[in-house]
């Protein structure tokens, strides 16, 4: 398992792989204080599932989530209530996650009042302050979600998440639904809030450019496994795992004036077709016979850089 000192959240799953198909299988991932970990991979790789487990919206069928060094099941009621507040989720589609019949003041102010972080009589001031923090006009307090643009709704979703004074946000494709120009503004807001509030993020995205810009470390998922994890620039410059190499090659080249994505070769493997060995072997250009029978484990190939591949290894 991959482990890091000073971690804030750590997820470990240990699912038996047969006969049930698991979205996330034998994964270990930690996020440290103030750290941004990017989580990338094709759709269906289990990124959202892992994110939901990390934030407590899903229970792993086996395995543990650690919060500040302690397994969740060992927290007493008060500590687990604090953890619930400290780990929040920012969703992909803010519109779907905002109650259309509630005013912004209630959408953002409901939870902090319910949890006693602010008194009811101070709710408006509290929310007005939060709206300004996320770049919205405090005068928008009484509006409903449909009265906002997509970018503004994304900001409301962020305001709602930070309203309970969290330490850790799981952001699941939080800018994917936005126009490119608006995306950049919301990304900058995330970075600014991280600095101001000392937040940690697990930032799930299929956009490698966004992840490169934001993350301190990047984890790459393939069919429910983390196949590579490394400091961001290390990953982009010296990817080790053949799947990561393919993923990076499929990244649109933005600076040549022609957006062009190289499609990833091989059939779209799904969870239903997982057999023994390396889960990537049917698509891997470097596969050797061993890859069909022996599942590679994560190994440290450079300081802090882990990869699960049999290539260039004599020792196991």
Question: Does 222 sit near ligand SF4 (CB under 6 A)?
Answer: no
CA 6 from centre of chain:
19
Q: Which is nearer to Mg ion, 105 or 202 (CB)?
A: 202
Q: Would you say 220 and 241 are in contact if contact means Cβ atoms under 8 Å apart?
A: yes
Q: Which is nearer to ligand SF4, 113 or 284 (CB)?
A: 284
Residues 219, 227: Cα–Cα separation, whole Å: 8
Question: Does 48 sit near Mg ion (CB under 5 A)?
Answer: yes
Applying CB under 6 A, the span of 14-22, 58-66, 189-197, 284-292 interacting with ligand SF4 comes to 284-292
Tokens of 300: 């440290």
Question: Does 41 sit near ligand SF4 (CB under 6 A)?
Answer: no
Beta strands in 72-131 (DSSP E): 87-90
Applying CB under 5 A, the span of 40-48, 93-101, 149-157, 279-287 interacting with Mg ion comes to 40-48
Q: Would you say 47 and 41 are in contact if contact means Cβ atoms under 8 Å apart?
A: yes
End-to-end CA distance of the chain: 16
- Cis amide prior to 19 (ω within 30 degrees): yes
Closest residue by Cα to residue 152 from 143, 76, 172, 269:
143
CB of 249 to Mg ion, least distance (A): 22
Question: Does 182 sit near ligand SF4 (CB under 6 A)?
Answer: no
Q: Which is nearer to Mg ion, 48 or 183 (CB)?
A: 48
Binding partner of 305, given Mg ion, ligand SF4, none, CB within 5-8 angstroms per partner class: none
Give contact residues for ligand SF4 (rule: CB under 6 A): 241-242, 278, 280-281, 284, 286-287, 291, 296, 309-311
> Which positions lie near Mg ion, rule CB under 5 A?
48
């Amino acid at each position: 398992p991959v482990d890091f000192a000073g971690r804030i959240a750590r997820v470990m799953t240990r699912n038996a792989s047969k006969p049930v198909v698991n979205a996330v299988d034998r994964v270990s991932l930690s996020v440290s204080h103030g750290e941004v970990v990017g989580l990338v991979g094709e759709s269906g790789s289990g990124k959202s599932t892992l994110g939901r487990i990390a934030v407590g919206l899903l229970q792993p069928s086996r395995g543990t989530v650690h919060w500040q060094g302690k397994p969740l099941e060992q927290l007493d009621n008060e500590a687990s209530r604090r953890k619930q507040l400290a780990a929040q989720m920012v969703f992909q589609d803010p519109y779907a996650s905002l109650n259309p019949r509630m005013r912004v003041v209630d959408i953002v102010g409901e939870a902090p009042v319910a949890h006693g972080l602010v008194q009811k009589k101070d709710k408006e001031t509290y929310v007005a302050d939060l709206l300004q923090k996320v770049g919205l006009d405090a005068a928008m307090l009484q509006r409903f979600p449909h009265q906002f643009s997509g970018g503004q709704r994304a900001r409301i979703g962020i305001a709602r998440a930070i309203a309970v004074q969290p330490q850790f946000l799981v952001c699941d494709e939080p800018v994917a639904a936005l126009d490119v120009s608006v995306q950049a503004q919301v990304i900058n807001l995330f970075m600014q809030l991280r600095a101001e509030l000392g937040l940690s993020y697990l930032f799930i995205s299929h956009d490698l450019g966004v992840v490169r810009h934001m993350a301190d470390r990047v984890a790459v998922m393939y069919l429910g496994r983390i196949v590579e994890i490394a400091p961001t620039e290390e990953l982009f410059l010296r990817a080790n795992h053949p799947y990561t190499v393919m993923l990076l090659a499929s990244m649109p080249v933005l600076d040549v004036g022609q957006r062009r994505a190289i499609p990833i070769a091989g059939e779209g493997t799904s969870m239903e077709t997982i057999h023994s060995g390396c889960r990537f072997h049917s698509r891997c250009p470097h596969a050797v016979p061993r890859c069909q029978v022996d599942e590679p484990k994560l190994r440290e190939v450079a300081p802090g850089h882990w990869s699960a591949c049999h290539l260039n290894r004599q020792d196991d």
